[in-house]
Chains A and B, each alone.
Chain A
Amino acid sequence: MSTPLETATHPEHLRRVCIEPLTRVEGHGKVTLLLDEHDQVQQARLHIVEFRGFERFIQGRPFWELPVTVQRLCGICPVSHHLAAAKACDRLVGAPALSPTAEKVRRLMHFGQVLQSHALHFFHLSSPDLLFGPDDHPAHRNIVGVIQDEPELARRGVLLRRYGQEVIRVCAGKRIHGSGAIPGGVNKALDNADRELLAADIAQVIDWAEDAVALMQGLFAAGGDAYRRFASVPANSLSLVRPDGALELYDGGLRARDPDGEPIFDHASDQDYADLLQEQVKPWSYMKFPFIAALGPAAGWYRVGPLARVNNCDFIDTPRAEAARRTFAAAGQGRPVQAVLATHWARLIELLHCAEAIARLLADPDLTGDDLLREGTPARAGIGVIEAPRGTLFHHYEIDADGLVTRANLIVSTTSNNQAMNAAIRRVAQDELDGHVLTEGLLNRVEVAIRAYDPCLSCATHALGQMPLALTLTRADGTVLDLLRRDADGGIRRAPPGSGGAMANARP
Chain B
Amino acid sequence: MSLLDPEPDPGQAGARAPRLVIGVGNPARGDDAIGPLLLQRLRDQLAGDPCAGEVALLDAYQLQPEHALDLRGRRETIIVDAAAAGTAPFTHTRVVPEPTPTITTHSLSPAALAGMHQRLFGSAPALTVLAVRGERFELGAPLSAHATRHLAAALDWLSALLHRR
Query: Which residues in A have some Cβ–Cβ distance to B below 8 Å?
Result: 21, 23-27, 52-54, 57, 69, 72, 75-76, 78, 120, 124-125, 138-139, 142-144, 147-148, 151, 154-155, 157-159, 161-163, 165-166, 169, 174-177, 197-198, 200-201, 204-205, 456
Query: Which residues in B have some Cβ–Cβ distance to A below 8 Å?
Result: 1-4, 6, 10-11, 26-29, 58-62, 64-66, 68-69, 100-107, 115-116, 119-120, 139-140
The answer to whether A72 touches B27, judged by C-beta atoms less than 8 angstroms apart, is yes
Q: In the assembled complex, which residues on chain B have CB atoms less than 8 Å from the CB atom of A78?
A: 61
Q: How far, in whole Å, are A207 and B113 apart by their CA atoms in the complex?
A: 27
When C-beta atoms are compared, the residue in chain A nearest to B25 turns out to be A75
Pairs A-B, 8 closest by C-beta atoms: A75-B61, A72-B28, A161-B66, A162-B66, A147-B119, A26-B106, A75-B62, A57-B140
Most chain A C-beta atoms within 10 Å of own C-beta, residue among B4, B11, B61, B106:
B106
The answer to whether B3 touches A53, judged by C-beta atoms less than 8 angstroms apart, is no
Q: How far, in whole Å, are A197 and B4 apart by their CA atoms in the complex?
A: 11
Most chain B C-beta atoms within 10 Å of own C-beta, residue among A142, A144, A198:
A144
Task: Tell me, rounded to whole Å, the shortest Cβ–Cβ distance linking B23 to chain A.
Answer: 10
Q: In the assembled complex, which residues on chain A have CB atoms less than 8 Å from the CB atom of B62?
A: 75
Q: In the assembled complex, which residues on chain B have CB atoms less than 8 Å from the CB atom of A200?
A: 1-3
The answer to whether B3 touches A162, judged by C-beta atoms less than 8 angstroms apart, is yes
The answer to whether A201 touches B115, judged by C-beta atoms less than 8 angstroms apart, is no
The answer to whether A143 touches B103, judged by C-beta atoms less than 8 angstroms apart, is yes
Q: How far, in whole Å, are A165 and B116 apart by their CA atoms in the complex?
A: 19
Task: Tell me, rounded to whole Å, the shortest Cβ–Cβ distance linking A176 to chain B.
Answer: 5
Task: Tell me, rounded to whole Å, the shortest Cβ–Cβ distance linking B113 to chain A.
Answer: 11
Given contacts A147-B119, A162-B10, 13 further A-B contacts (CB under 8 A): A23-B104, A24-B106, A138-B102, A142-B100, A142-B102, A144-B115, A147-B116, A161-B65, A166-B10, A176-B60, A177-B59, A197-B3, A201-B4
The answer to whether B3 touches A158, judged by C-beta atoms less than 8 angstroms apart, is no
The answer to whether B139 touches A57, judged by C-beta atoms less than 8 angstroms apart, is yes
Q: In the assembled complex, which residues on chain A have CB atoms less than 8 Å from the CB atom of B10?
A: 162, 166, 169, 197
Task: Tell me, rounded to whole Å, the shortest Cβ–Cβ distance linking B59 to chain A.
Answer: 6
Q: In the assembled complex, which residues on chain A have CB atoms less than 8 Å from the CB atom of B139?
A: 52-54, 57
Q: Which of A52, A147, A456 contacts B120 (CB 8 A)?
A: A147
The answer to whether A158 touches B119, judged by C-beta atoms less than 8 angstroms apart, is no
The answer to whether A124 touches B65, judged by C-beta atoms less than 8 angstroms apart, is yes
Q: How far, in whole Å, are A125 and B107 apart by their CA atoms in the complex?
A: 10
A-B contact pairs, 9 of them (CB 8 A): A72-B27, A144-B102, A148-B119, A162-B69, A163-B3, A169-B10, A169-B11, A174-B59, A176-B60
Q: Which of B59, B65, B68 contacts A175 (CB 8 A)?
A: B59
Task: Tell me, rounded to whole Å, the shortest Cβ–Cβ distance linking A205 to chain B.
Answer: 8
Q: How far, in whole Å, are A204 and B120 apart by their CA atoms in the complex?
A: 20
Q: A57-B28, A201-B4 are in contact. Are A176 and B116 (CB under 8 A)?
A: no
The answer to whether A157 touches B65, judged by C-beta atoms less than 8 angstroms apart, is yes
The answer to whether A163 touches B120, judged by C-beta atoms less than 8 angstroms apart, is no
Q: In the assembled complex, which residues on chain B have CB atoms less than 8 Å from the CB atom of A25?
A: 105
Q: How far, in whole Å, are A201 and B28 apart by their CA atoms in the complex?
A: 35
Task: Tell me, rounded to whole Å, the shortest Cβ–Cβ distance linking A200 to chain B.
Answer: 6
The answer to whether A176 touches B102, judged by C-beta atoms less than 8 angstroms apart, is no
Task: Tell me, rounded to whole Å, the shortest Cβ–Cβ distance linking B108 to chain A.
Answer: 9
Q: In the assembled complex, which residues on chain A have CB atoms less than 8 Å from the CB atom of B103?
A: 24, 124-125, 142-143
Q: How far, in whole Å, are A155 and B139 apart by their CA atoms in the complex?
A: 36
The answer to whether B3 touches A201, judged by C-beta atoms less than 8 angstroms apart, is yes
Task: Tell me, rounded to whole Å, the shortest Cβ–Cβ distance linking B114 to chain A.
Answer: 13
The answer to whether A143 touches B65, judged by C-beta atoms less than 8 angstroms apart, is yes
The answer to whether A26 touches B1, judged by C-beta atoms less than 8 angstroms apart, is no
When C-beta atoms are compared, the residue in chain A nearest to B68 turns out to be A158
Q: Which of B2, B27, B120 contacts A158 (CB 8 A)?
A: B120
Q: In the assembled complex, which residues on chain B have CB atoms less than 8 Å from the CB atom of A26?
A: 105-107
The answer to whether A125 touches B106, judged by C-beta atoms less than 8 angstroms apart, is yes
The answer to whether A154 touches B61, judged by C-beta atoms less than 8 angstroms apart, is no
Q: In the assembled complex, which residues on chain A have CB atoms less than 8 Å from the CB atom of B66?
A: 158-159, 161-162, 165
The answer to whether A76 touches B106, judged by C-beta atoms less than 8 angstroms apart, is yes
When C-beta atoms are compared, the residue in chain A nearest to B27 turns out to be A72
Most chain A C-beta atoms within 10 Å of own C-beta, residue among B3, B28, B62, B69:
B3
The answer to whether B65 touches A120, judged by C-beta atoms less than 8 angstroms apart, is yes
The answer to whether A120 touches B3, judged by C-beta atoms less than 8 angstroms apart, is no
Q: In the assembled complex, which residues on chain B have CB atoms less than 8 Å from the CB atom of A57?
A: 28, 139-140
Q: In the assembled complex, which residues on chain B have CB atoms less than 8 Å from the CB atom of A120?
A: 64-65, 106
Q: In the assembled complex, which residues on chain A have CB atoms less than 8 Å from the CB atom of B100?
A: 139, 142, 144
Q: In the assembled complex, which residues on chain B have CB atoms less than 8 Å from the CB atom of A165?
A: 66
When C-beta atoms are compared, the residue in chain A nearest to B11 turns out to be A169
Task: Tell me, rounded to whole Å, the shortest Cβ–Cβ distance linking B64 to chain A.
Answer: 7
Q: How far, in whole Å, are A69 and B65 apart by their CA atoms in the complex?
A: 25
The answer to whether A144 touches B106, judged by C-beta atoms less than 8 angstroms apart, is no
Q: How far, in whole Å, are A142 and B112 apart by their CA atoms in the complex?
A: 12
The answer to whether A159 touches B65, judged by C-beta atoms less than 8 angstroms apart, is no
Q: In the assembled complex, which residues on chain B have CB atoms less than 8 Å from the CB atom of A24?
A: 103-106
Q: In the assembled complex, which residues on chain B have CB atoms less than 8 Å from the CB atom of A163?
A: 3-4
Task: Tell me, rounded to whole Å, the shortest Cβ–Cβ distance linking B162 to chain A.
Answer: 22
When C-beta atoms are compared, the residue in chain A nearest to B61 turns out to be A75
Q: Which of B4, B107, B120, B140 contacts A75 (CB 8 A)?
A: B107
Task: Tell me, rounded to whole Å, the shortest Cβ–Cβ distance linking A465 to chain B.
Answer: 14
Q: In the assembled complex, which residues on chain B have CB atoms less than 8 Å from the CB atom of A148?
A: 119
Q: In the assembled complex, which residues on chain A have CB atoms less than 8 Å from the CB atom of B2?
A: 200-201
The answer to whether A21 touches B26, judged by C-beta atoms less than 8 angstroms apart, is no
Q: In the assembled complex, which residues on chain B have CB atoms less than 8 Å from the CB atom of A157?
A: 65
When C-beta atoms are compared, the residue in chain B nearest to A73 turns out to be B28
